[in-house]
Amino acid sequence: PASTAEPCPGDLAVGGVPLAEIADRFGTPVYVLDEAEVRERCRTYRDAFPDTEILYAAKAFLCRAMIHWMDEEGLGLDVCLAGELELAVTTGFPAERIVLHGNAKSPRDLETALRLGVGRIVIDSPSEIARLAAAVGPHGHQKVMVRVVPGISAGGHAKIRTGTEDQKFGLSISDGYAQHAIARILDQPQLELTGLHCHLGSQITSVKPYLAAARRLVGLMARLHEQHGLVLPELDLGGGHGIAYRPGEQALDLTTLARKVRTELAEACAAAGLPVPRLIIEPGRAIAGPAGIALYRVLAVKHTGNRTYIAVDGGMSDNPRPALYGVRYAPRLIGRRTTAERAPVTVVGRHCEAGDVLAADIELPADVRPGDLLAVPVAGAYHLSMASGYNLVGRPPVAAVSDGRARLLVRRESLDDIRSRDVGL
Ligand code: LLP
């Protein structure tokens, strides 16, 4: 096996707190969120995208602390459905800075949105228009956007590409469904159409698809202007900004994205004789992902044939991403120094499923043994928000680190939590 004699650096500290200390204090598995890094990422967005409304995509990871931080950093929120919305508003986040998404909003989703006074609702299907208009009532008023399908393929995996024609989100421009829906919205005086929305997909590492989307949406705005005399003040290009999960991977360059999108919009709008709309973006992963670390303890080491399996105390219930999208992570040994050579291993979880693999064919020091700690960097987005209750292990806690201190944000899910929902016999 290829191996290097690089010594393991031993303890790794985040936010001034050694990760091994966090594992001891809160138990494992545990997710650690670096507050300064989250805030720094918000500021990077605000610097790169002045005059842009930046909505944090709550689906990446949400808890009350995160909601506070977004509010303090001056971001808005993109929420999907009533749960995220209600948590945000009951935590004190201003409802008018929230945009509600969902390809199938239930009556309760719409009722909650109207009751809480959500800023904008993104229409994603024709039937939603009449339902929303009825719920708003003849004397009410609600701002809406329309999610359109630009017909662009982008994104890290087929399951997270949403800009192409044949998927469940949005209304197609090329088939005319978007135009039809917009005409119907314009017929509803209580609905105010503020702009077009699209979301191409997730984990996108190139600027080009965003430029193509901007052109496509301005093209539609130009046609709407001709047909209805409509000038839409907003344009939402969604999220999807890719990040690096392993050393050597390239993240999407936000400064380049901002500059090129601005130029593209200015040129396309000038050609169409339209004013440049206010830009909205919805990054989720790029804000939360790199700020999170998952800590696991090794429970078992096993050799089979020519492979070594390292089994940890978490797995696909707290991180379904490798199983769902084949994503590759780079776990590392922490908490002790070693000069052992590196050896190829596969890190697996402890769920009752062979596909419960966290990191296949990676290299770790050859002396990794039960009791060791493994840290998985870039674990802040779409891990816990997609966590499941498989094998009733209970979802892990979340601790925040900042200024040399760690504090619990979300406690571990206990069997009592799980049992409390189980009300029949
Ligand atoms: N806006 C809309 C309308 C979205 O649907 C999404 C993500 C975002 C913004 C934020 O995208 P981001 O900047 O985080 O890429 N579970 C998958 C990702 C699914 C993303 C769903 N929508 C994963 O773990 O990779």
Spatial contact of 371 and 298, defined as CB atoms under 8 Å apart: yes
Does 325 belong to an annotated binding site?
Answer: yes
Domain assignment present for residue 218? The answer is yes
In this prediction, residues 399-424 reach a mean pLDDT of 97
pLDDT of residue 2: 30
- Based on the fold, state whether residues 304 and 246 are members of the same structural domain: no
Spatial contact of 19 and 11, defined as CB atoms under 8 Å apart: yes
pLDDT of residue 160: 87
Helices (H), 229-330: 254-272, 285-288, 321-325
In sequence order, the 6+-apart residues with CB closer than 8 A to the CB of 158 are none
ipTM score for this prediction: 0.99
- Based on the fold, state whether residues 215 and 294 are members of the same structural domain: no
The token pair that represents 257 in the structure block: 């994205």
Number of domains in the chain: 2
- Atom 23 in ligand 1: residue holding the nearest Cα: 382
Q: How confident is the model at residue 7 (pLDDT cuts 50, 70, 90)?
A: very low
Domain assignment present for residue 1? The answer is no
Per the structure, the complete domain to which residue 112 belongs is given by 35-287
Q: Per-residue pLDDT tens for 310-358?
A: 999 999 999 999 999 999 999 999 999 999 999 999 999 999 999 999 9
CA of 265 to the centre of ligand 1 (A): 23
Does 120 belong to an annotated binding site?
Answer: no
Q: Per-residue pLDDT tens for 394-405?
A: 999 999 999 999
pLDDT of residue 12: 84
Among all residues, which ones are annotated catalytic? Answer: 352
Q: What is the CATH number of the domain that holds 158?
A: 3.20.20.10
pLDDT(5) > 60: no
Beta bridge partners of 399: 32, 408
Does 219 belong to an annotated binding site?
Answer: no
- Based on the fold, state whether residues 42 and 99 are members of the same structural domain: yes
Does 353 belong to an annotated binding site?
Answer: yes
pLDDT of residue 10: 59
Instruction: Say if residue 414 is exposed, middle or buried (CB neighbours under 10 Å; 0-12, 13-18, 19+).
Output: exposed
Does 246 belong to an annotated binding site?
Answer: no
Q: Per-residue pLDDT tens for 356-410?
A: 999 999 999 999 999 999 999 999 999 999 999 999 999 999 999 999 999 999 9
- Based on the fold, state whether residues 319 and 371 are members of the same structural domain: yes
| Residue list, ligand 1 pocket, CB within 6 Å | 57, 59-60, 78, 101, 160, 199, 202-203, 238-241, 282-286, 321, 325, 382, 386
CA distances from 227 to 181, 189, 220 (A): 14, 18, 11
Determine the distance from the C-alpha atom of residue 10 to the mean position of all C-alpha atoms in its chain, rounded to a whole number. 31
Mean pLDDT, the chain, rounded, equals: 95
Ligand 1 nearest atom to the CA of residue 156, by list position: 25
pLDDT(139) > 60: yes
CA of 224 to the centre of ligand 1 (A): 28
- Based on the fold, state whether residues 353 and 255 are members of the same structural domain: no
Q: How confident is the model at residue 154 (pLDDT cuts 50, 70, 90)?
A: confident
- Atom 9 in ligand 1: residue holding the nearest Cα: 239
- Domain termination site, one of 270, 287, 304: 287
Which is nearest to 398 in space by CA: 7, 16, 51, 63? 63
Pair type for strands 120-123 and 98-101: parallel
- Atom 8 in ligand 1: residue holding the nearest Cα: 239
Q: How confident is the model at residue 157 (pLDDT cuts 50, 70, 90)?
A: confident
pLDDT of residue 155: 86
Q: What is the CATH number of the domain that holds 362?
A: 2.40.37.10
pLDDT(1) > 60: no
CA of 292 to the centre of ligand 1 (A): 16
Q: Per-residue pLDDT tens for 205-242?
A: 999 999 999 999 999 999 999 999 999 999 999 999 99
Domain assignment present for residue 381? The answer is yes
Domain assignment present for residue 356? The answer is yes
- Atom 19 in ligand 1: residue holding the nearest Cα: 160
Domain assignment present for residue 282? The answer is yes
- Based on the fold, state whether residues 77 and 45 are members of the same structural domain: yes
Express as a percent the part of the chain with pLDDT over 70: 97
- Based on the fold, state whether residues 237 and 196 are members of the same structural domain: yes
CA separation for the pair 358, 345 (Å, rounded): 11
CA of 178 to the centre of ligand 1 (A): 22
Q: Per-residue pLDDT tens for 64-110?
A: 999 999 999 999 999 999 999 999 999 999 999 999 999 999 999 99
CA of 58 to the centre of ligand 1 (A): 9
